[in-house]
Chain A
């Protein structure tokens, strides 16, 4: 059974593309056939996170306008053969694709792939409406921050109005120490307001940034907490029952050890 998933958030900068890339790689590592579609036309960057920019020949717009076949536009991942990316155009804008086009495209890809994951642009305008059109499941990414939660709430409402009822939540960029000291919204507060099934809690981790710059998603990295969190999300998407992990907090002692280079971390 193949599944079309849209990763969305409303607010920008919460980690939609990062999540898309990590889920894509994570699922591919487990042997699933995955295709990622970037729908952030004009602000394309999913290819960068996957380190595939230099291999792009055609894009989503070429496919939608019938200039090339889908197969020709798909870019294969360097490491994982069963992971493909359909990049979008950096020069066109969101009006170049409409919801019907994307729906048809998803239905086509669904035949061949286990997972079609759509990276949605920020906002609730046409780009969003297009991105969600063909999806069975929506993953809403948010951060423990009032504005991000407010926007996620709005997005969940919009998804409901578009009759997308299978909605899951990922809380990204959590800083456990700040949550503990009460300076950041805690997970219960967020779940209380948004009231949808949470499938992931991902800590803020500098490895996410460094690995993005290298074009290698953090998901395979066992030294990284965020990497582990993404791996858990992949498992939950595949129906496994995995408890949420406890975050390691960097306490005073550990910092001291680090200062004296006693800790390898």
Chain B
């Protein structure tokens, strides 16, 4: 498996920038620029990245700092050598799986949330998100891929947040305040009905469709 030289991960406290310490500065620079240009507008000015620097060269650190600051982005250095300890939000080793994307197979990360996401909490992930619990009103899940809630989903969910219109939202009881998929928004009916079966929301013919599924 070829590992990305540069990975940007979304977490509860912001973004983390993971850099392969064996890569050269040129490769890293090209990769970072590519990542940032892929999603223009996603990283607004002032966005801070946490960079783990334990095994990075000083010149590389400086280089990364320059690239980001040219775009008005900031870097916070952190010296954690180990991967950050599992917060409640994310399990220690997110399982990796592969998705077919324009003929290319690329590794995608799945964030597994092993508890109920409560009001005011936000889970952001570049990949898909699996919630082993409820998503309560006032909570937000933002995923680059799909979202699966093994419980009741009452919060705001945004699947395919960076434009993936094939992303879906699945929940055992799907009653969110809003479902967003890619650039489409569907809001809940003003009088919420209780749903008794698992449902899936996806985009079909330019609309968000919700249909019951078997689980």
Interface of A toward B, CB cutoff 8 Å: 150-151, 153-154, 156-157, 160-161, 192-193, 195
Q: Contacts A192-B152, A195-B116: A157 and B134 contacting too (C-beta < 8 A)?
A: no
Q: Are B137 and A157 in contact (CB under 8 A)?
A: no
Residue on A nearest B137 in the bound complex, by CB: A150
Q: Could you say which residues of chain B place their CB within 8 Å of the CB of A161?
A: 88
Contact of A153 among B88, B115, B118 (CB under 8 A): B118
Q: Are A195 and B134 in contact (CB under 8 A)?
A: yes
Q: Could you say which residues of chain A place their CB within 8 Å of the CB of B84?
A: none
Q: Are B136 and A160 in contact (CB under 8 A)?
A: no
How far, in Å, is A198 (CB) from chain B's closest CB?
16
Q: Contacts A160-B88, A195-B134: A154 and B152 contacting too (C-beta < 8 A)?
A: no
Residue on A nearest B138 in the bound complex, by CB: A150
Q: Are A150 and B119 in contact (CB under 8 A)?
A: yes
How far, in Å, is B86 (CB) from chain A's closest CB?
14
Say if the beta carbon of B158 comes within 8 Å of chain A: no
B interface size (C-beta, 8 A): 13
How far, in Å, is A256 (CB) from chain B's closest CB?
35
Q: Are A156 and B118 in contact (CB under 8 A)?
A: yes
Q: Are A157 and B120 in contact (CB under 8 A)?
A: yes
Residue on B nearest A152 in the bound complex, by CB: B119
Residue on A nearest B116 in the bound complex, by CB: A195
Say if the beta carbon of B50 comes within 8 Å of chain A: no
Q: Could you say which residues of chain A place their CB within 8 Å of the CB of B118?
A: 153-154, 156-157, 160
Q: Are A154 and B120 in contact (CB under 8 A)?
A: yes
Chain B 115-145 near chain A by CB (<8 Å), digits 1 or 0: 1101111000000000000101110000000
